Structure 1
């Protein structure tokens, strides 16, 4: 069976065994515990994370202590505080694991090195960043144009596993509603 990262990359571009081993050598394997913080606010963000197994959430807590979830990440997804990662500045959000799992981490220096050396990987990351940007725009537009019910149904349709793996209060925080509102939507 192919390594999950190789399967992921080969959805876009084929790799030889030698190329994949070289790519993998730039990543570090990291086991995570449930509720472990990987990024805390105002810290430097040295890594981008690829989820091999588990579920993560990136979020911001406002002045009133209310949590706003920016992104979830399941197996085969990438996640980080990208503003802080690419600008090598302090984190503007937090990242924690919702489940025990396994990640692959890559530093900005290693990511840039791979992209400079391998057109295939530069192409892969460019397409991934573009897809992420499009998904974020679609989410913003949905927030402006769809009802909460429609946004909830769209989330379930796009990511059916999410509702089974993510606590209800986190789904509510992602949708920007209270847990009680979410309970009414589910009825």
Structure 2
């Protein structure tokens, strides 16, 4: 009887051990899956890394090694949005600066009379946000939404400052991009002050190649500050 009891005990022990192992393995597998999902932006093979649009833009200003670019990517979050999705509402805090990998976004504001004013479009390789709200961490006075399904690399102010501190090259890059942004804004203001509608239209064609085929003419008219009838005349002359 004693031998049978021992045999039965050993059988239960082996059965319990056999059943315990899959639970540990299962937990380990899920833990690793979660980790891989969390770090999916950070893992890029060498060929993809060299052709990455963000790296291409950065290296117009500074040069990065593969290891340095991998480190840069680690500060970004990959975010995808659907067409018509609002990513920043007027009155909300601007948590991210968006680098557009694929798609099309815009920055706009609706005045008290309900009229929409478009300040900026964000095509591939553009950065887009409410700059004042982002850098001052205040509530946005603008709206940012998607005109197409859009894939972005999104950067928080905390990570931008951290990256600039850790990598002087990136501080140089961000400073240069900010300076270029100020220059572009100044040109846009001067264009409105001193140029006619035809000049503004040609400036838009130069700044946003292919945009006319991607958005309704009403949006183009809003950006240019002209009526749709005026825009129609401009496009007819161009054709």
TM-score (norm 1): 0.97
* Counterpart position of 1:14: 63
Gaps of 5+ in 1: none
1:28 Cα offset (Å): 0.4
In structure 2, what is the Cα distance between the partners aligned to 1:141 and 1:24?
36
Considering only aligned residues, what root-mean-square deviation do their CA atoms show, in Å? 1.0
SS at match of 1:75: coil
In structure 1, what is the Cα distance between the partners aligned to 2:86 and 2:96?
13
Q: Is 1:103 paired with 2:169?
A: no
* Counterpart position of 1:61: 110
SS at match of 2:57: helix
SS at match of 1:68: strand
1:163 Cα offset (Å): 1.3
- Number of matched pairs: 187
> Following TM superposition, where does structure 1 have runs of at least 4 consecutive aligned residues deviating by more than 3 angstroms?
none
In structure 2, what is the Cα distance between the partners aligned to 1:183 and 1:33?
30
1:11 Cα offset (Å): 1.2
Q: Is 1:75 paired with 2:124?
A: yes
SS at match of 1:51: strand
Q: Which has the larger radius of gyration?
A: 2
1:158 Cα offset (Å): 3.1
Q: Is 1:37 paired with 2:86?
A: yes
Contact 2:105–2:150, Cα closer than 8 Å, also in 1: no
SS at match of 1:115: helix
1:127 Cα offset (Å): 0.3
SS at match of 2:62: coil
* Counterpart position of 1:145: 194
**Higher relative contact order, structure no. (Cα contacts within 8 Å, ≥ 6 residues apart):** 1
Q: Which has the higher helix share?
A: 2
Gaps of 5+ in 2: 1-47
Q: Say which of 84, 87, 104 aligns to 2:136.
A: 87
In structure 2, what is the Cα distance between the partners aligned to 1:154 and 1:45?
29
Q: Say which of 156, 159, 163 aligns to 2:212.
A: 163
